[in-house]
Structure 1
Amino acid sequence: MDNFIVSARKYRPVTFDSVVGQGHITGTLKNAIHNSQLAQAFLFCGPRGVGKTTCARILAKTINCENITESVEACGTCDSCKSFQNGNSFSIHELDAASNNSVDDIRSLIEQVRIPPQAGKYKIYIIDEVHMLSQAAFNAFLKTLEEPPSYAIFILATTEKHKILPTILSRCQIFDFNRIKVEDMATHLASIAQRESITFESDGLHIIAQKADGGLRDALSMFDQIASFSNKNISYQAVIDNLNILDYDYYFQLVDRIAGEDAAQALLIFDKVLNSGFDGGHFISGLATHIRNLLVSKEPATLKLLDVSDTIKRKYLEQSQALSAGLLLSALNIANQCEINYKNSKNQRLQVELALLKMCHLSAAILLSKQGSFMPSASTEVKKKLPEQSVANQPKASASADSNGMAIPAQPPVVARQPEQKAVPPVQVRVEPTTKPAEIGANATPKKGWGKVSSSIDIPNLNTIFEEKPVEESEENALVQGNAYQEITLNVFLSKWNAFAEDLKKTTRVTLYTIMTANTPRLNGTLIEVDVENAVQMEDLKVGKIDILNYLRVQLNNFALDLQGVQVEMTKVRKPYTAQEKYQAMVSKNPALETLRKAFNLGLS
């Protein structure tokens, strides 16, 4: 039986043109050879398996070739090329810096550099994994690397450029190798399969190229492994079985279930994935990538971002056209949040299942949001400003129904405004649509699966859909309203202002009293400006703003009045005398004191 040679060695490039996916590197090197502009030191850096050492060998062989072709390639037939191919060249030396990283090894190399080449024009040293050299070895190598003999050329290769000293980097021409594209790698694998008489499917080769993550050597190793596993028949199914990869079909089926709001089947698909030996974190990561690919497929301009075969690309196009961008963006957000929280969750399976349930209810939430924009009768808010003591005595409004069976609230009666009384918060009435008679009959068909989730008109963040949201009362609704806009004089305004402040003094709201009496307010038209000394006073003024305005609007018969705090910088420090002033001085130093006073309902004597 003949000795088997792995594809990574058997089909290793021997010319610049045969290097895969590094045209910017090979083109530059060929021009440098053609123009006789060779540097004394080259540094090839990039990820593993992209051709750094291969290009170094091709460069070394081409430099010493006796009959360089018109396309600036080594002839492969001269004595120098043959000796290099046979591994007995005296002019080209390879050194592994991982095992020869001491100062003595570099000193031995420097001694060899002094000897001119026995054959060929140049003496070339290829040092692989150069970042493994010690700092002392780097320092010993500096002088020789900067000013070597005219016949010496150094080619350094590394996967970790950041570990090399800047003094070394400054003495080299640096070439950054790219990760090899999936399409280029799949094409190269197809050409090798044809030479080896191996049948293949393009989808299978694309999966190998994606799994290799830009490294051609890794792709060739997997190619040999699957060729042996499948008896020289590389199919899509054989690749995903051998490399333990989740099939695309799982994700296509799952997204169809999400679009159809079939939560039960979505959970069953996830259970099948887990039973196949896959991790939930790997599954949710793949789902996020799948949804991302669907979003990319929505626009022809971004279609080139898909690194998949033509068959899979057509599937993405078909499924993306049936889904809205809003649904995909919301699902991608949920998947991304699930992936972030997955590792910290104690019940990781529940974390993924909860994300799937949220995705399945996205269509219902989006539909309700659209309907809510055009059906005001489905959720009606009746806002009324009534006197506090007459709310219970108001006549109840009767409701009628429209042609669709939707309840319509009657117009509330008009109540005369009493300016001397405070207004109560608006009453919000929410009328839900009644059930249609056709759905109540005996022939009504129950819905399958999990059904549709009910939602408010404003769709919340689905990550916090189950959290209670505090009902916030708007400031405008809490203010007393009216149509009177009587002109106000400064003296009348100040008298009402001081009267309200004296009323506060009798209560526990001493802080607000201090703010109102510390500085004289300014009246600019209908805007009242109050000077405050710090952020604590500004916050207290905002809390008491509604009570102040409700009192002044009624007393001054002007419902356009508004109040604004102005924080001023204190240039003169006044020693506090009264209890209120002393308390304010302590609060300015420690705001938590105000929280303590409110918590225990304390007052100031």
Structure 2
Amino acid sequence: MSDIRDGEPQTGGDEGQAALLGFEAPPSAQPAPTPYRVLARKYRPQTFADLIGQEAMVQTVRNAFAANRIPQAWMLTGVRGVGKTTTARILARALNYDTGEPGSGPSIDMPDLGIHCRAIMESRHVDVLEMDAASHTGVENIRQITDAVRYAPVQARYKVYVIDEVHMLSTAAFNAFLKTLEEPPPHAKFVFATTEIRKVPVTILSRCQRFDLRRVESATLIAHLDRICRAEAVEAEPEALAAIARAAEGSVRDSLSLLDQAVAHGAGAVTAIGVRDMLGLADRSQVIDLFEAAMRGDVPGAFAVLRAGWDAGADPRQMMEDLAAFTHLVTRIKLVPDAADDPSLTEAERLRGREFAGRLPVRALSRAWQILLKAVPEVGAAQRPLATAEMALVRLAYAADLPSPDEVLRSLRGEASAPPTNGGGGGGRAPSGGFSGSLAMARTEPAPMRMDAVPTTAPRLQAVPRTDAPPAAVPVPAPQTEAVVLRRFEDVVALAGENRDVMLKTALERDVRLVQFEDGRIEIALEPTARQTLPGELTTALQAWTNRRWVISLSKEASAPTIAEERTRRETERRQDATNHPLVQAVLSSFPGAKVVDVRERAPEPEAAEDEPQAVDRTGEAGADEDEET
């Protein structure tokens, strides 16, 4: 029978099979065709020199081998497809590299195949054991390893245990591994691989040398795909390879799988149009046109571009993701101009991205990003994704068309003394004068309004010296004693706050209605929710704070509102007064759906003339909490 290794017949074939069975092979019989191997397996790295994008890890391992500082365990972590399992096999090969010559030992440089190299790379070496922790999670599986690790290797220099997806092991399995992992035999090495490093116990991590394998950069990935295409004699457009690298998100295996699919889709040629159709992507220039229409406030134009992408087979969610990605790109180019030199970008993205970055403010791009960030999951979860995407574009277009609050205020203050009643525009459109341009400006979060108003809090208490103290009986004058004078109930509440009795202060504000107040005597009415011990607590506290006797009596007569109710009423009046201000009305009309949420007192001007009348200045700024994502 034929000896088949890795899918390739080594000897015999159909003729050998026919001879063994006693039949004469037909003259036209040919060896069976070699099964196709996917690119991710065919171009799997065999040495450290073949790894791409992991230079830091390779340098660390090289120095460790050169200095003979090889640890007993490695922990490899990273996203899928960056080479964790491949690196583990290369480490096993480097540890057991043996050319048969005297003095041969572990080496990171392996120009030729050693005695054990082929068997290790094909996962069939007796001393290199690979285990998938996802299907071997129990303590019994780990006990088999701990029992067998004491025996010396059969052929190679080291016994190497490669455990993939190690985070899937149970807690008992991890605990069973601790002693062996901390003090393994000299001939045993462990290599762990995981995508969920946070699920691995710290006790395991502390016994391993950890390597975080990075995502491969787009430029490196594009160059790697181009080399493979030349080796496979496949014609590939640079834009198509850039699209594959973007879709792979730094994963080498994902990029090779997509390249395999693109070659099959294009019948041996990889084109940008074919990759877009295969992945359900919109044309990059189409995404840029969609961005320009939305930021210009052109809703019909944005709808037309979105519908064209839908008719071409593009997924609305993917178009929203691409639109968000381009928004992020423009923002990066504006803040870091060198970001436009990324080789994974198309020429249209590079040129038009710079153009948009020079014309759009950061606040407009930030607002667009926030809207798109919420629109992507909405479109993905909607039963009608196209309609949902169109509504997201409406929000984006109208947000881009509205001016910012500071621009509205500057425009209103620069007009006539009589504030306008229409806010300079209607229907959510930008007011004329200072807001027109090739691209509309998105607005920023407004600042809270500051209005002058009468203070509602009681003044800070001061110690008042007593004047009715008797004169001293001796020539040496005695020091005067001081007592706290409380003239109103609000002073009692303030005194509780100064003495940091928060519970009593809160109860006085919320549960007490004042009936009558005199020095040394207070008549109050309690709310139904008040605790019945409150009068006694107040009496004890006042005697301790003032060194005088106080009488607290309860009444059922009609009384004033509580301090909390009075504070709420005043706050409502202040907010209503601010809302009715003509300037605030003009701002609210410019921002449909906005409302005043806070009113703050304005600090008094330091150089006010004494003979001038002190008029209340209500030209503060309004704080708005928008109901829409605009």
Q: What TM-score range do you get, normalising by the shorter chain? A: 0.5 to 0.7
Q: Structure 2 CA distance, aligned partners of 1:263 and 1:170?
A: 57
Give 2:47's aligned residue: 15
- The alpha-carbon distance between structure 1 residues 331 and 115, as it changes in their structure 2 partners (threshold 3 A), is closer
Which of 76, 79, 86 is 1:47 aligned to? Answer: 79
Give 2:327's aligned residue: 291
Deviations 1:360-397 (A, max 9, x none): 456754499869846867x5344xxxxxxxxxxxxxxx
Aligned residue type for 1:313? R
1:102–1:133 Cα contact (<8 Å) kept: yes
Q: Helix, strand or coil for the counterpart of 1:24?
A: helix
Q: Structure 1 CA distance, aligned partners of 2:400 and 2:431?
A: 11
Matched, 1:453 2:429: yes
2:76–2:84 Cα contact (<8 Å) kept: yes
Q: CA RMSD in A?
A: 4.7
- The alpha-carbon distance between structure 1 residues 254 and 577, as it changes in their structure 2 partners (threshold 3 A), is same
Q: Structure 1 CA distance, aligned partners of 2:131 and 2:68?
A: 25
Deviation at 1:274, TM superposition (A): 3.6
Deviation at 1:26, TM superposition (A): 1.4
Give TM-score scaled by structure 2 length.
0.61
Q: Structure 1 CA distance, aligned partners of 2:394 and 2:34?
A: 57
Give 1:393's aligned residue: none
Matched, 1:177 2:155: no
Q: Structure 2 CA distance, aligned partners of 1:346 and 1:101?
A: 40
Give 2:592's aligned residue: none
Residue ranges of structure 1 left out of the alignment (5+ in a row)? 383-427, 435-449, 478-514, 522-530, 541-568, 599-605
Map 1:332-371 → 2, pairs under 5 A: 332-336=369-373, 338-339=375-376, 352-361=389-398, 365-366=402-403
- The alpha-carbon distance between structure 1 residues 134 and 328, as it changes in their structure 2 partners (threshold 3 A), is closer
Deviation at 1:18, TM superposition (A): 1.1
- The alpha-carbon distance between structure 1 residues 161 and 229, as it changes in their structure 2 partners (threshold 3 A), is same
Which of 139, 147, 150 is 1:114 aligned to? Answer: 150
- The alpha-carbon distance between structure 1 residues 42 and 250, as it changes in their structure 2 partners (threshold 3 A), is same
Which of 66, 74, 98 is 1:66 aligned to? Answer: 98
Which of 261, 264, 268 is 1:225 aligned to? Answer: 261
Give 1:483's aligned residue: none
Deviations 1:283-309 (A, max 9, x none): 333322212211222244451695733
Map 1:434-453 → 2, pairs under 5 A: 453=429
- The alpha-carbon distance between structure 1 residues 249 and 139, as it changes in their structure 2 partners (threshold 3 A), is same
Deviations 1:16-51 (A, max 9, x none): 121111111111111111111111111112221111
Give 1:103's aligned residue: 139
Q: Structure 1 CA distance, aligned partners of 2:359 and 2:567?
A: 56
Q: Structure 1 CA distance, aligned partners of 2:371 and 2:344?
A: 24
Deviation at 1:82, TM superposition (A): 4.2
Give TM-score scaled by structure 1 length.
0.63
- The alpha-carbon distance between structure 1 residues 451 and 226, as it changes in their structure 2 partners (threshold 3 A), is farther
1:97–1:128 Cα contact (<8 Å) kept: yes
State the identity as a percent.
28
Q: Helix, strand or coil for the counterpart of 2:130?
A: strand
Map 1:254-265 → 2, pairs under 5 A: 254-265=290-301
Aligned residue type for 1:197? A
Q: Helix, strand or coil for the counterpart of 2:74?
A: strand
Aligned residue type for 1:9? R
Give 2:478's aligned residue: none
- The alpha-carbon distance between structure 1 residues 155 and 361, as it changes in their structure 2 partners (threshold 3 A), is closer
Q: Structure 2 CA distance, aligned partners of 1:464 and 1:144?
A: 59
Q: Structure 2 CA distance, aligned partners of 1:519 and 1:85?
A: 84
Deviation at 1:66, TM superposition (A): 2.5
- The alpha-carbon distance between structure 1 residues 321 and 517, as it changes in their structure 2 partners (threshold 3 A), is closer
Deviations 1:162-216 (A, max 9, x none): 3333332222222222222222211111111111111111221121112112221
Deviation at 1:234, TM superposition (A): 1.0
- The alpha-carbon distance between structure 1 residues 109 and 452, as it changes in their structure 2 partners (threshold 3 A), is closer
Aligned residue type for 1:128? D
Matched, 1:94 2:130: yes
- The alpha-carbon distance between structure 1 residues 292 and 537, as it changes in their structure 2 partners (threshold 3 A), is farther
Which of 184, 189, 194 is 2:225 aligned to? Answer: 189
Map 1:194-209 → 2, pairs under 5 A: 194-209=230-245
Deviation at 1:429, TM superposition (A): 6.2
Which of 329, 335, 357 is 1:320 aligned to? Answer: 357
- The alpha-carbon distance between structure 1 residues 204 and 518, as it changes in their structure 2 partners (threshold 3 A), is same
Give 1:574's aligned residue: 552
- The alpha-carbon distance between structure 1 residues 476 and 251, as it changes in their structure 2 partners (threshold 3 A), is same
Q: Structure 2 CA distance, aligned partners of 1:44 and 1:328?
A: 38
Q: Structure 2 CA distance, aligned partners of 1:97 and 1:335?
A: 39
Q: Helix, strand or coil for the counterpart of 1:221?
A: helix
Aligned residue type for 1:575? S
Aligned residue type for 2:429? V
1:41–1:155 Cα contact (<8 Å) kept: yes
- The alpha-carbon distance between structure 1 residues 242 and 590, as it changes in their structure 2 partners (threshold 3 A), is same
Q: Structure 2 CA distance, aligned partners of 1:252 and 1:594?
A: 52
Give 1:510's aligned residue: none
More helix per residue: 1
Deviations 1:419-439 (A, max 9, x none): xxxxxxxxx6659999xxxxx
Residue ranges of structure 2 left out of the alignment (5+ in a row)? 1-32, 455-485, 493-504, 515-537, 543-550, 574-630
Give 1:31's aligned residue: 63
